[in-house]
Amino acid sequence: MRNMRLKQMGQWLFAALGFALFAGCASAPKGAALTQINTIDSLLAGVYDGQFALRDLQRHGDFGIGTFDRLDGEMLMFDGRIYQIKADGKAYTPALGTTTPFASVVRFTPSRTIEMGKSSLEELCATVDTLAPNRNVFAAVMVRGEFARVHTRSVPAQQKPYRPLAEVTKNQPEFKRENVKGTLVGFRLPAYVKGINVPGYHLHFVSDDLKFGGHLLDLELARGTLSLAQIHRLYMILPGNSGAFAQADLAKDRAAELNETESAKSRR
Ligand SMILES: [Zn+2]
């Protein structure tokens, strides 16, 4: 009798657990996850050694931005292809064995696509904010078209001992082009990702002729197609075997360093 009751209880528990799992799945947000390698603060702290091969990164998405081993340039990924904008401002195709110390990628399925005319960077961001008003979820943003003006920067590969990112970016090469066709790729992330990723807009550019690109500082769009996708899931991959990562001081508030690094226009 007692065994019978235990058996019944077991069946009930199993059924309840099954229901809970089902209910959990039913309410889980659908769609692609933003996968990110490492944290932005560890990059700010100088953890520049690549940890994750590009061929593995491609398993997590076909669209995104990041950097390369030793900070050797700016990364763009779209349509599954990866571009490396080196310190000469030109785009290269990296070998898939190349590694990254920091990247954010997603499988990009746009939910909104609109045609845009002449727009400043501020107007472009305002349009994204209108189309995707929920600032508390992630947005992946792509613009393909003709740009009246684009201002970018890239970064040369670093040598050990690595200097902090805010120091490296003080003397980095900047590039400007007018009347250039190309693709802008990146994300708008919520304020609460501070420490993990870059709050606000973080965009990279590459020209169609692959002769120009980098981390976007400013632009003026002539005309183009804006596509965006909202993302409700985050998947993080942290370095397991990196002494530099293990020893990085990630308790420190690096918001001021990030601001200096990401948003500064030319100081020259
Ligand atoms: Zn960047």
Structural domains of the chain sorted by starting position, each given as residue range(s) with its CATH number in brackets:
33-262 (3.30.1330.80)
Separation of 110 CA from ligand 1 center, angstroms? 21
Separation of 202 CA from ligand 1 center, angstroms? 6
Separation of 203 CA from ligand 1 center, angstroms? 6
Distances (CA, A) of 200 to 55, 161, 178, 258: 28, 30, 26, 12
Separation of 266 CA from ligand 1 center, angstroms? 15
Separation of 118 CA from ligand 1 center, angstroms? 24
Separation of 63 CA from ligand 1 center, angstroms? 14
Pairing of strands 103-106, 81-85: unpaired
Separation of 141 CA from ligand 1 center, angstroms? 14
Separation of 254 CA from ligand 1 center, angstroms? 16
- On whether the pTM is more than 0.85, the answer is yes
Q: What is the pLDDT along the chain (268 residues), one digit of tens a residue?
A: 455 454 454 444 444 444 444 444 455 567 799 999 999 999 999 999 998 999 999 999 999 999 999 999 999 999 999 999 999 999 999 999 999 999 999 999 999 999 999 999 999 999 999 999 999 999 999 999 999 999 999 999 999 999 988 888 888 899 999 999 999 999 999 999 999 999 999 999 999 999 999 999 999 999 999 999 999 999 999 988 778 888 888 888 888 888 878 765 433 2
Does residue 75 contact residue 204 with C-beta atoms inside 8 Å?
A: yes
Tell which residue, 74, 71, 81, has the closest CA to residue 47: 71
Separation of 7 CA from ligand 1 center, angstroms? 58
How far is CA 130 from its chain centroid? 21
Separation of 154 CA from ligand 1 center, angstroms? 8
